[in-house]
């Protein structure tokens, strides 16, 4: 979204919102001495042209969030349809079989509007800058909302959905401007990027009033919470790491990158966060370790054209895709971003760019291997199969069941996995329960939920017939990692 008082890009020229000013310089972060590993980059790729755009009357297309979900890639982005009311920024949705598009609405039509302004609310006119993840079957959409062209009027909202198309707002914004200091840039708070890691929701965002922002308001701040609404116990990243704060408006004391309109991902194999942002050299990915105390890898640069922040291609929880060729030492980095200024003087021309980064060793330790191989199945020492999910090992009797529950089956087992404990065993004809809360294998006193098409395939392959139980009965059991997609 344009860095002006409201998130409509049409105000950019008159209100001083220079999108190119988002190019990063030196991050305002604590000084630290460290040795960074220089990654090798190869297999550079790009689409032959534009991969997605709105209907004929859509004057701009930018700020995408991209979810790779099995064989389908889904994308939500900021645009505007004349028929959508009220007039202002709308969020579009489309899908494709690959990153090079074309992205079309379900059924093959032009991309569909899934969220527009809600008159009378904080997002009464504009909804823009989406960031979408899916956790335990629920989609969470974080977005910038504004009621109009008011100073510091932008704020971050949240909506939920079971299908990624029909959204229900949660009400009031979850993040407003902190008002630590006033600058010429009166944009406020917005441009969210969210990822789910080890039970935490990490929210990175712009706040031009933040104390640690640059002279022009550039900067990215990070909050985390166990609840997607950020309404419970919230921690803010400051000079001394994450500390508990009273709410999401706590002072913004540390920025992790000097940029506007950035995106965030978690790279399991590298045990690091990746932040994609724009610099004078192109699209740059900066890396931080788990607690944002060090930058273990040198930045990776894609020297490609841009006009507005990149949308990283991510898994449903916001993680980087896993290399099927070398999950422990190679990671694909792909973005979709606006590349030119359209007739409305706003960013458009969404194109795909990418490359592979390698040269790291992600499976040197058992914890590293469990993280890098999340969702994979490997042979076990007992002539059965091990499915790895959220750092735990599920030993599965039947290979066909393991195939249904995993994203990929490796032919060879890594020796380091012998150090991992087996969390549970899944025998043939194991008990399956289902309730309004979900369905899954009941192993001991723990339910291992199974989602998506994986459920039917796994239950059938295992010879397990689902047994109906009540919500109350479901909630008496502990929940294991979610299996399938």
| SS3 (DSSP) at 11 | helix
Sheet holding 90-96, edge to edge: 40-46, 347-358, 330-341, 311-314, 62-69, 72-79, 90-96, 112-115
329/361 Cα distance (integer angstroms): 5
Residue 167 has pLDDT above 90, yes or no: yes
Alpha-carbon distances, residue 123 vs 118, 148, 159, 250 (angstroms): 6, 8, 12, 22
Beta pairing class for 272-279 and 263-267: antiparallel
Exposure letters 196-219 (e unless 16+ CB within 10 A, then b): bbeeebbbbbbbbbbbbbbebbbb
Lowest mean pLDDT among 18-27, 225-234, 301-310: 18-27
Kindly state the tokens that stand for 336: 């979709």
Kindly state the tokens that stand for 108: 């093959």
Query: Mean per-residue pLDDT for 335-363?
Result: 96
pLDDT digits (tens, 9 = 90+) for 174-190: 999 999 999 999 999 99
User: Which residues on neighbouring strands pair with residue 93, listed in sequence order?
Assistant: 76, 112
Beta pairing class for 483-484 and 446-451: parallel
pLDDT the model gives residue 236 = 98
Listed by start position, the domains of the chain span: 9-358, 366-484
The helix or strand, by DSSP H or E, that contains position 456, with its residue range, turns out to be helix 453-462
More confident residue, 72 or 25: 72
Beta-strand (E) ranges in 271-417? 272-279, 282-289, 300-302, 311-314, 330-341, 347-358, 376-379, 385-389, 392-396, 408-409
Residues 6 or more apart whose CB falls under 8 angstroms from that of 407 comprise: 322, 375, 376, 485
**CB of 336 closer than 8 Å to CB of 352:** yes
User: What are the φ and ψ backbone dihedral angles of 49, each rounded to 5 degrees?
Assistant: -175, -155
pLDDT the model gives residue 451 = 85
pLDDT digits (tens, 9 = 90+) for 85-103: 777 899 999 999 999 999 9
Chain-centroid distance of CA 286 in Å reads 16
pLDDT digits (tens, 9 = 90+) for 450-478: 987 789 999 999 999 999 999 999 999 99
The helix or strand, by DSSP H or E, that contains position 473, with its residue range, turns out to be helix 471-474
Query: Mean per-residue pLDDT for 291-303?
Result: 98
Chain-centroid distance of CA 419 in Å reads 31
Residues 6 or more apart whose CB falls under 8 angstroms from that of 243 comprise: 235, 236
Residue 344 pLDDT grade (very low, low, confident, very high; cuts 50, 70, 90): confident
Taking all residues of the chain, what is their mean pLDDT, rounded to a whole number?
91
Query: Mean per-residue pLDDT for 298-325?
Result: 95
366/369 Cα distance (integer angstroms): 5
Residue 76 pLDDT grade (very low, low, confident, very high; cuts 50, 70, 90): very high
pLDDT the model gives residue 27 = 44
Lowest mean pLDDT among 27-31, 188-192, 269-273, 399-403: 27-31
What's the start-to-end Cα distance of the chain, in Å? 31
450/406 Cα distance (integer angstroms): 11
Residue 307 pLDDT grade (very low, low, confident, very high; cuts 50, 70, 90): very high
pLDDT the model gives residue 33 = 57
| SS3 (DSSP) at 269 | helix
409/422 Cα distance (integer angstroms): 18
Kindly state the tokens that stand for 379: 């042979």
User: What are the φ and ψ backbone dihedral angles of 157, each rounded to 5 degrees?
Assistant: -110, 170
Alpha-carbon distances, residue 9 vs 14, 149, 237 (angstroms): 10, 11, 30
**CB of 159 closer than 8 Å to CB of 143:** yes
pTM: 0.87
Residue 5 has pLDDT above 50, yes or no: no
User: Is domain 9-358 classified as CATH 3.10.129.10?
Assistant: no
pLDDT digits (tens, 9 = 90+) for 111-145: 999 999 999 999 999 999 999 999 988 999 999 99
């Amino acid at each position: 979204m344009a860095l002006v008082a409201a998130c409509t890009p049409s105000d950019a020229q008159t209100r001083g919102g220079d999108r190119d000013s988002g190019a990063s310089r030196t991050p305002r972060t604590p000084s630290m001495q460290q040795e960074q590993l220089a990654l090798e980059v190869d297999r550079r790729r790009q689409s032959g042209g534009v991969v997605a755009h709105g209907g004929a009357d859509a004057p701009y297309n930018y700020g995408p969030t991209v979810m790779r979900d099995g064989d389908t890639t889904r994308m939500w982005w900021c645009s505007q349809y004349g028929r959508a009311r009220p007039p202002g920024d709308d969020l579009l949705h489309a899908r494709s079989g690959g990153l090079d598009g074309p992205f079309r609405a379900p059924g093959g039509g032009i991309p569909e509007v899934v969220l527009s302004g809600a008159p009378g609310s904080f997002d009464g006119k504009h909804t823009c800058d989406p960031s979408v993840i899916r956790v335990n079957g629920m989609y969470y959409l974080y977005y910038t909302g504004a009621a109009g062209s008011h100073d510091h009027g932008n704020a971050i909202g949240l909506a939920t959905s079971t299908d990624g198309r029909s959204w229900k707002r949660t009400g009031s914004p979850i993040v407003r401007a902190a008002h630590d200091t006033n600058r010429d840039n009166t944009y406020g708070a917005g441009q969210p990027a969210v990822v789910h890691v080890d039970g935490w929701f990490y929210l990175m965002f712009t706040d031009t009033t933040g104390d640690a922002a640059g002279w022009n308001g550039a900067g990215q701040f990070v909050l985390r919470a166990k609840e997607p609404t950020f309404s419970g116990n919230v921690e803010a990243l400051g000079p001394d790491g994450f500390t508990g704060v009273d709410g999401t408006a706590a002072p913004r004391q540390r920025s992790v990158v000097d940029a506007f309109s950035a995106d965030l991902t978690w790279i399991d194999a590298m045990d690091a966060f990746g932040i994609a942002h724009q610099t004078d050299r192109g699209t740059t990915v900066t890396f931080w370790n788990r607690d944002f105390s060090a930058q273990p890898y040198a930045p990776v640069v894609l020297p490609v054209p841009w006009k507005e922040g990149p949308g990283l291609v991510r898994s449903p929880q916001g993680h980087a895709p896993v290399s099927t060729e070398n999950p422990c030492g190679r990671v694909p980095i792909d973005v979709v971003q606006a590349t030119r200024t359209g007739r409305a003087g706003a960013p458009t021309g969404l194109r795909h760019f990418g490359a592979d980064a390698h040269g790291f060793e992600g499976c040197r330790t058992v914890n590293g291997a469990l993280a890098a191989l999340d969702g994979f199945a490997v042979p076990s020492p007992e002539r059965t199969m091990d499915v790895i999910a959220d750092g735990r090992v599920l030993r599965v009797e039947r290979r066909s069941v393991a195939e249904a529950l995993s994203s990929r089956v490796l032919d060879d087992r890594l020796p380091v996995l012998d150090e991992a404990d087996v969390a549970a065993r899944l025998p043939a004809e194991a008990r399956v329960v289902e309730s309004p809360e979900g369905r899954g294998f009941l192993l001991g006193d723990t339910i291992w939920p199974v989602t998506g098409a994986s459920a039917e395939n796994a239950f059938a392959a295992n010879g397990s017939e689902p047994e109906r139980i009540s919500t109350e009965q479901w909630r008496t059991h502990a929940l294991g990692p979610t299996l399938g997609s």
